[in-house]
Amino acid sequence: MKIVRITGGLGNQMFQYAFYLSLKERFTDVKLDITPYILSKFHYGYELSKVFGIKADLAINEEIDYLINNSDSKLSTIFIERQFNFDKEVFEIKGDVLYYGYWQTEKYFKSIDGIIKKEFVFKRPLDNKNIEIVDQINEVNSVSLHIRRGDYVSIKNVARICTLEYYQKAVKLIKEKINKPVFYICSDEIEWVKENIRLEENTVFVDWNKGEDSYKDMQLMSLCKHNILANSSFSWWAAWLNNNKNKMVIAPSRWFNDETENIRDLIPDGWFKIEV
């Protein structure tokens, strides 16, 4: 049996679920461990079923406990992700394995990207306000711009908050290559962004998808023709789900304050990286 622990917010859950699906292509008995969301509600809880209607095979407590309790006797393995880069060894471990990690590179699931995109289809119908914005997004050279603050503000020693200079460089690059872009700005602290970020561009602040509806920001960003990312798995997935064949995606070159954290496999080929 292989069990993948799910943890974190929606973007992290999507990476972990994509990794789970990749394991299922290779092994017969693969399940998810969602017990972290039963013990405490992190972010908005386990969101994959609500947002995408996903029905995964879930491990029960006895199965999880068996893998944990037998790891010392070598009957099972607890594999903790060692780095942010692709690690082919994760697919070579024999026997029962409990996987802890984020698996934040498409190299883990590139071979089944068609399956992933079919799984990550937003199921709930949009409300009138969001439908109105989607109509606008379709009519213009729309560019999503994501600003992540939230818990990043309180963990500055780990997560790096993208600077105004980064966004200015990204906007400049977009304007050099895209005719009359319109920027749709999404953030987990949109009011702070309104007061502190001045891009002097044609912008729309998406300020109504809050709380448990915040996933709709990802949906809107995925429908934009182009994307400017924060150092966030949330906007990473919005860009990855963007089906525009000519999309321009811009990402920060660093995601963490610790420069030893190498993210070379995190940014897919074809995406632009801006030094920060």
**Per-position pLDDT tens, the chain of length 276:** 999 999 999 999 999 999 999 999 999 999 999 999 987 777 789 999 999 999 999 999 999 999 999 887 777 899 999 888 999 999 999 999 999 999 999 999 999 999 999 999 999 999 999 999 999 999 999 999 999 875 544 445 445 678 889 999 999 999 999 999 999 999 988 888 888 877 777 999 999 999 999 999 999 999 999 999 999 999 999 999 999 999 999 999 988 877 656 678 999 999 999 987
Give residue 158's pLDDT: 47
Give residue 265's pLDDT: 94
Rounded distance between C-alpha atoms, residue 95 and residue 204, angstroms: 51
Give residue 264's pLDDT: 85
Rounded distance between C-alpha atoms, residue 267 and residue 227, angstroms: 13
The domain defined by 128-274 carries CATH number 2.40.160: no
Residue intervals of the chain classified under CATH 3.40.50 are: 128-274
Give residue 81's pLDDT: 94
Give residue 262's pLDDT: 65
Beta bridge partners of 182: 142
Give residue 257's pLDDT: 74
User: What is the SS3 assignment for 129?
Assistant: helix
Give residue 195's pLDDT: 86
Instruction: Name, in order, each residue with C-beta under 8 angstroms of 15's C-beta and a sequence gap of 6 or more.
Output: 102, 103, 104, 233, 237
Note whether 59 and 32 are within 8 A (CB): yes
Give residue 103's pLDDT: 98
Joined together, the tokens standing for residue 39 give: 């013990």
Note whether 161 and 269 are within 8 A (CB): no
**Burial letters 48-70, b for 16+ CB under 10 A, else e:** beebbebebeebeeebbebbeee
